[in-house]
Every structure is written in structure tokens, then in C-alpha cells.
Amino acid sequence: MAIQTKDPKITLVAGVYPIFVDGKIAGGIGVGGGTEEDCMIAEYVISVFEKLTKQA
């Protein structure tokens, strides 16, 4: 369950990361239930996305 904040743009759940394009938030990714492995997968996906968008 996510911890509620007053800012709807913020989540405090492990495994949830914003996706930035040109320094602006373009989306996000959430993987699983917040385990260490989920965080590793999300971070890997973000790194691949960054490499692919730099090639475009």
C-alpha cells in the first residue's frame, strides 16, 4: 500500500521511478511490490530507456 502524501505527483513506494526526457517527467515505471529485486529491475529498465532515447 502506498504512503499518502499531499502531493499527487509523489509516491513513497520502492520500485516506482519517474521517467525523464529532456529533464522533464515523461512518465513512470512501477515494478512489483517494492522488494529489492523489484527495485533492481526498475532501475535496469530506466537505464535501457535512457540509452534508447539517447540513440534516437
Tell me the per-residue pLDDT of 18-35, one tens digit each, with 9 for 90 and over: 888 888 888 888 888 768
Bridge-based pairing of strands 16-21 and 24-30 is antiparallel
Confidence of residue 11 (pLDDT cuts 50, 70, 90): low
In this structure, what is the dihedral angle of CA atoms 51, 32, 14, 54, given to the nearest 10 degrees? 10
- Residue 26: the pLDDT is 87
Q: Per-residue pLDDT for 6 more than 80? A: no
pTM, two decimal places:
0.65
| Best CA proximity match to 31, nearest among 16, 11, 46, 44 | 16
C-alpha cell at 33: 511490490
Domain definitions of the chain by residue range: 16-55
Q: Are 41 and 47 in contact (CB under 8 A)?
A: no
Give yes or no for a contact between 19 and 48, defined as CB atoms under 8 angstroms apart. Answer: no
